Amino acid sequence: MRTLPIDELRGQVRGDVISSEDERYEDARTVYNAMIDRRPAVIVRAANAGDVMAGVNFAREAGLDLAVRGGGHSVPGFGTCDDGVVIDLSGMRGVRVDPASSTARAEGGATWGDFNAATHAFGLATTGGIISTTGVAGLTLGGGIGYLARGFGLSIDNLVSADVVTADGQLVQASEREHDDLFWALRGGGGNFGVATALEFQLHPVKDIYGGPMFYELSEAENVLRFYREYIADAPEQMGAFPAFQIAPPLPFIPEDRHGDTFIAIVACWAGPVEEGPKAFEPFHDVAPVVAEFVGPAPYPALNGAFDGLLPPGLHHYWKASFVSELTDDAIAAHVTHGPDVPTVHSTMHLYPIDGAVHRVGASDTAFAYRDANFATVIVGAWPDPAQGDANIAWVRRYYDAVAPHSEEGGYVNFMAGDDQGRVRANYRGNYDRLVTVKRAYDPGNLFHLNQNIVP
């Protein structure tokens, strides 16, 4: 085995450089998905953009694999690798809000929890994910789907600029004005083009919301899904709501004798005036009897963290995903067949709406091509005990195979499995060739290949 000049790297890095003999190594190499058990040669815990540049140069010059980790949530484990370099941005989590321009600049390792806490103080927010521990950068670069998407677009639609360390170790700022080709590709192209050390977002006046989950009997599943299809098509854009199949966790708002039972749920977030929330929720109460609910006014960051307990780090994960243009009766039948078999309290199916403001951006305006899709489906297998793996993976695949004929060929890159590389071209439709052109300009050697890869 050859010796790497790790001491030289240590001399260049302000943060930590962790290799296998370091007592912090085991902790440092651990990622969110417990199925991923990889042993990098070196982990660069960057403190600043200069550290990132040093890590990129080190990996390129040594000819090593390079993985980039923000929030660490990649289900396929793209944030780590065997025998290569991991640039870990978890030490770069600062968020600076500029209330005058209603923008916020987040460092490349910030989570949505970090981001929302900072912007909430100013009564501002932007589209982010539904779990607070997910990374801002990883989520955004793939597109960014969340409660506020119908009103304000995807996270990428709110991206104003990004500081990016490219494969040659240089830092560039990408925006509509500079490196606009790179800026276009970053908005949906994932981690293919470099390491984002900072991302600047447009914010919107959202402080407190009215929202939460509602649980209905499984016998209402078809009714609820049919209702949801009609309702969401004309719903006000301040309403972000998605259906889910969910085993009831042991929480006080659910009758104790129903803990462990499976339900069809709707999780909704009304980001309009809070006092209008109860009226906005009436359709959800009219569709079927609600067995249990935890709905009311809440600070937006509270809803963003409300389900963190269901998806803690250290579970095993396998997910599949697809975009959906029309939620047909046949698609609903497939959901009603497979959703109720959800195998663990952590596993679920979410059907996110991506209409409204998401549709107002053209299919070729950013790399995210499915601007006419109405929903993004994700089938989440998540389980604590390795022995449950086969059953969970089989359920995800069975469910996915049943809905695939009623879905688009492509799926959201951030929800896709490691075995979905063959679908990358389909995910980008007509934008793929332009992505290859940008990839060739910024990363001709494919240094950034641990992702849903665009091959130069």
Ligand X SMILES: Cc1cc2nc3c(=O)[nH]c(=O)nc-3n(C[C@H](O)[C@H](O)[C@H](O)COP(=O)(O)OP(=O)(O)OC[C@H]3O[C@@H](n4cnc5c(N)ncnc54)[C@H](O)[C@@H]3O)c2cc1C
For binding to ligand X (CB under 6 A), which residues are involved?
32, 67-75, 78-79, 89, 108, 129-131, 134-135, 137-139, 141-142, 144-146, 190-191, 195-196, 311, 414-415, 450-451
Cβ closer to ligand X: 281 or 412?
412
Residue 327: name the closest of 402, 407, 396 by CA: 407
CB of 277 vs ligand X, minimal distance in Å? 21
CB of 256 vs ligand X, minimal distance in Å? 27
CB of 382 vs ligand X, minimal distance in Å? 8
Cβ closer to ligand X: 154 or 332?
154
CB of 146 vs ligand X, minimal distance in Å? 5
* β-pair type (208-216, 316-324): unpaired
Whose tokens are 């209008």? That residue is 276
Cβ closer to ligand X: 267 or 402?
267
Cβ closer to ligand X: 126 or 451?
451
| CA–CA gap between residue 374 and residue 406 (Å, rounded) | 13
CB of 164 vs ligand X, minimal distance in Å? 7
Count Cβ atoms within 10 A of the Cβ of residue 204 and give its class: 0-12 exposed, 13-18 middle, 19 or more buried: middle
| CA–CA gap between residue 394 and residue 383 (Å, rounded) | 13
Cβ closer to ligand X: 190 or 305?
190
Residue 374: name the closest of 397, 407, 334 by CA: 407
Sign of CA dihedral 324, 342, 269, 231: positive
Cβ closer to ligand X: 73 or 290?
73
Cβ–Cβ under 8 Å, residues 456 and 448: no
CB of 330 vs ligand X, minimal distance in Å? 26
According to the 3-state scheme, what is the secondary structure of 245-263?
EEECCCCCCCCHHHCCCEE
| CA–CA gap between residue 106 and residue 109 (Å, rounded) | 8
What values do phi and psi take at 195, rounded to 5?
Answer: -100, 120
CB of 195 vs ligand X, minimal distance in Å? 4
Cβ closer to ligand X: 127 or 336?
127
Cβ–Cβ under 8 Å, residues 416 and 319: yes
